[in-house]
């Protein structure tokens, strides 16, 4: 089955009237003209039909929305989910009253600008420069020529995956430059725009002027994704890229435009991998040369298609490549312990994981000293920065778990002081600690993670049970070590689980419970170590199972065949990179009864106790505990060298 027409058809037992395609090539629907296939591709007949279609999808079905496909890069591996395309179908536009215009999500922004001008309504002229649809403009607060979409928004219409529709006000959204945060699990289907009464001829003349300016300054005749990067505060991405001499620079068939450096064009033979590699190269080059880390405006989705690899996997400059030996052979960064200088081992802190942090820190401290390193313990408190300054420390081994350690707080302080440290930076740490943001980024990158929602005292727990399904996990958003997690099998128990989690954090996540096998992937210096399968007679791998129980089984080799283990290793590395993590860490996964993998969470400072998983994975790879601590400390050297090149 390749395509259906608009007569009534059925899928998953539900009748709807739009067009459904399977294995649809996404290069037909993106302005870059690249991308793999979407497992399912649906164009609804109208909003009512869309509601029917959404309501029949499985709860864990990943949904991707597109309009004209600008600002979108789909990887060659395609999209394992359902793409809903609004372009050309949700295209209604009408005047509601003297100053209000309603435009559905599939209406091109340029059409909105012209429609308003014909009515003699001003303020939307800038939208002629936005190469997308109303839905995309709403979701990212798109702008052009100094104007931004949400300055016009009077109200928006949204829809959730059950087909329920809502009329919402701007006050219900957090709107910033090129990003909008609203109600989780809802998507835009229309906007109500408030304009100013003006002169039709003047508006039309301004639109013509802006189009001429766009044609002169931008590569409008070549396939591109629109502006590739957000403008940093007080500057322009194009200026920074041009200042680095990157105009005309190419990787494969992807090139930086000679006309405008913030546009990457497809010369006709580019792959999605070429474009993504060029984006990464621009970010790295500008950061090193200009000290500014550009943020892509482009959404990158879908499965990255890695080359077949033997042995373990490593990542260099964002590209998946074999280790230099092909077998993960380690090449020391530091030969002499004295070259590390004076090292502060940061432990303790104030989080709920303080006791485990002290155990990890003391184990690390002893190992470093056994290797001849000048290491000193610091029990982190309010005066930690003063202690670091007084002690004249040259680098830090961070063994802090939970808040204050894994959330980017201590990393920010160390960055300000210029002290190199182990592991991930501020961004990777904060994103990984935030389970909600982690899952949102993974979903945006096309990576599998269980269905979820945020719950609070106002939530309808019966409805939550219907949306997520039972059993479910209820957990704090910002804690680790499985603290505050409850398995809920009855809707009546959700309230108690929420209260238990809320004691540790105000934000609480309800997540679909995956029944299957649990695995963990340790990552060290860009290399994925052998997987560990975790088995416990308890309800799940909770705090006691992790740190005190003697009946938890850690199985390594994990029991998967080589191809299965490699697939999970690739997925773990993709998840690690998607969050901006560096150095070392751990990704926890579950495989359901159909052997489908699900990403659960990331840990940027895993435990280093006798029960901990990273030391066990390292041991399976032939790395003893003392050697492991040395290599983790070497990640601070890598960070130091990267900063010196900036």
Contact between residue 633 and residue 368 where contact means Cβ atoms under 8 Å apart: yes
Residue 484 neighbours by CB under 8 Å, 6+ apart: 475, 476, 500, 501, 503, 504, 505
Q: Is 588 a catalytic residue?
A: yes
Q: Do the strands 508-512 and 472-476 form a parallel or antiparallel pair, or are they unpaired?
A: antiparallel
Q: Which of 621, 624, 613, 627 is nearest to 529 (CA)?
A: 621
Residue 308 in tokens: 């077949």
CB atoms within 10 A of CB 148: 19
Please tell me which residue in 323, 603, 612, 636 is annotated as part of the active site.
Answer: 603
What ranges in 473-612 are assigned the alpha helix state H?
494-502, 543-547, 562-578
What ranges in 96-230 are assigned the alpha helix state H?
109-118, 134-140, 200-217
Sign of the dihedral through C-alpha 70, 75, 78, 79: negative
Residue 257 in tokens: 């435009």
Please tell me which residue in 527, 607, 631, 636 is annotated as part of the active site.
Answer: 607
Sign of the dihedral through C-alpha 24, 27, 30, 35: positive
**Burial label, 506 (beta-carbon count in 10 A; 0-12, 13-18, 19+):** exposed
CB atoms within 10 A of CB 289: 16
User: From its phi and psi, is residue 372 left (phi > 0), alpha (psi between -120 and 50) or beta?
Assistant: left
**Burial label, 327 (beta-carbon count in 10 A; 0-12, 13-18, 19+):** exposed
Q: Is 297 a catalytic residue?
A: no
The DSSP secondary-structure symbol of 556 reads S
Centroid of chain to Cα 643: 24
CA distance 503 to 466: 25
Please tell me which residue in 586, 631, 634, 636 is annotated as part of the active site.
Answer: 586
Contact between residue 107 and residue 91 where contact means Cβ atoms under 8 Å apart: yes
Residue 259 in tokens: 């006309």
Q: Is 603 a catalytic residue?
A: yes
Q: Which of 517, 499, 520, 516 is nearest to 508 (CA)?
A: 499
Contact between residue 90 and residue 53 where contact means Cβ atoms under 8 Å apart: no
- Find where tokens 């991308």 sit: 35
Backbone angles phi, psi at 238, to 5 degrees: -60, -40
The SS3 call for residue 88 is coil
CA distance 224 to 70: 8
The SS3 call for residue 401 is coil
Q: Is 481 a catalytic residue?
A: yes
Residue 48 neighbours by CB under 8 Å, 6+ apart: none
CA distance 63 to 505: 29
CA distance 142 to 133: 10
Q: Is 607 a catalytic residue?
A: yes
Contact between residue 351 and residue 402 where contact means Cβ atoms under 8 Å apart: yes
Q: Helices 461-468 and 494-502, interaxial angle, to 10°?
A: 100
Please tell me which residue in 104, 353, 406, 577 is annotated as part of the active site.
Answer: 353
Residue 102, beta-bridge partner list: 94, 192
Longest CA span, the chain: 80
Please tell me which residue in 147, 425, 547, 577 is annotated as part of the active site.
Answer: 547
CA distance 441 to 423: 20
Q: Which of 586, 579, 603 is nearest to 530 (CA)?
A: 586
Q: Is 78 a catalytic residue?
A: no
Q: List, by residue number, the catalytic residues.
A: 353, 481, 547, 586, 588, 601, 603, 607
């Amino acid at each position: 089955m390749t395509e259906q027409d608009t007569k009534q058809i059925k899928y998953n037992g539900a009748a709807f009237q739009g067009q459904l395609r399977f294995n649809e090539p996404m290069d037909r629907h993106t302005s870059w003209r690249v991308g793999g296939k979407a497992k399912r591709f649906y164009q609804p007949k109208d909003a009512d039909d869309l509601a029917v279609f959404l309501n029949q999808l499985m709860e864990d079905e990943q949904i991707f929305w597109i309009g004209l496909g600008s600002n979108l890069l789909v990887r060659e591996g395609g999209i394992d989910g359902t793409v809903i395309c609004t372009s050309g179908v949700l295209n209604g536009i009408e005047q509601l009253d003297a100053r209000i215009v309603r435009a559905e999500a599939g209406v091109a922004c340029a059409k909105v600008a012209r429609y308003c001008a014909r009515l003699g309504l001003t303020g939307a002229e800038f939208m002629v420069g936005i190469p997308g649809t109303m839905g995309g403009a709403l979701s990212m607060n798109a702008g052009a020529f100094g104007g931004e979409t949400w300055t016009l928004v009077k109200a928006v219409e949204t829809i959730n995956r059950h087909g329920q529709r809502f009329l919402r006000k701007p006050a219900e959204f957090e709107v910033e430059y090129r990003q909008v945060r609203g109600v989780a699990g809802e998507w835009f289907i229309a906007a109500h725009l408030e304009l100013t009464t003006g002169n039709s001829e003047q508006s039309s003349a301004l639109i013509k002027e802006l189009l001429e300016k766009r044609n002169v300054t931008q590569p409008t005749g070549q396939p591109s994704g629109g502006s590739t990067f957000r403008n940093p505060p007080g500057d322009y991405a194009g200026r920074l890229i041009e200042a680095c001499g990157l105009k005309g620079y190419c990787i494969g068939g992807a090139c930086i435009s000679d006309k405008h450096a913030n546009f990457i064009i497809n010369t006709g033979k580019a792959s999605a991998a070429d474009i993504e590699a060029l984006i990464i190269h621009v970010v790295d080059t500008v950061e090193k040369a200009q000290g500014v880390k550009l943020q892509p405006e482009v959404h990158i989705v879908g499965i990255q298609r890695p080359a077949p690899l033997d042995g373990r996997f490593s990542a260099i400059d964002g590209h998946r490549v074999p280790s230099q030996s092909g077998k993960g052979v380690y090449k020391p960064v530091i030969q002499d312990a004295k070259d590390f200088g004076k090292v502060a081992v940061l432990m303790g802190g104030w989080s709920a994981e303080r006791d485990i942090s002290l155990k990890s820190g003391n184990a690390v401290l002893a190992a470093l000293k056994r290797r001849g390193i000048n290491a000193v313990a610091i029990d982190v408190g309010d005066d930690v920065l003063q202690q670091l300054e007084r002690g004249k420390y040259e680098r830090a081994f961070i063994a802090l778990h939970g808040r204050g350690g894994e959330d980017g707080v201590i990393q920010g302080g160390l960055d300000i002081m210029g002290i190199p440290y182990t592991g991930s930076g501020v961004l990777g740490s904060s994103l990984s600690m935030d389970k909600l943001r982690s899952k949102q980024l993974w979903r945006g990158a096309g990576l599998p993670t269980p269905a979820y929602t945020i719950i609070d005292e106002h939530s309808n727990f019966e409805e939550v049970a219907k949306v997520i399904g039972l059993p479910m996990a209820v957990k704090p958003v910002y804690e680790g070590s499985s603290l505050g997690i409850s398995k809920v099998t009855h809707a009546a128990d959700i309230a108690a689980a929420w209260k238990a989690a809320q004691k540790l954090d105000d934000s609480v996540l309800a997540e679909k419970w995956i029944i299957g096998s649990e695995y963990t992937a340790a990552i060290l210096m860009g290399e994925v170590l052998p997987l560990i399968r975790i088995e416990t007679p308890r309800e799940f791998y909770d705090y006691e199972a992790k740190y005190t129980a003697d009946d938890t089984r850690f199985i390594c080799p994990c029991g998967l065949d080589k191809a299965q283990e490699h697939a999970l290793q690739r997925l773990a590395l993709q998840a690690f990179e998607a969050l901006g993590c560096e150095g070392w860490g751990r990704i926890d996964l579950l495989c359901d009864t159909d052997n489908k993998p699900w990403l659960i969470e990331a840990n940027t400072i895993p435990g280093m106790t006798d029960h901990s998983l990273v030391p066990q994975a390292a041991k399976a790879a032939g790395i003893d505990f003392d050697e492991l601590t040395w290599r983790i400390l070497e990640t601070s050297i890598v960070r130091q060298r990267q900063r010196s090149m900036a």
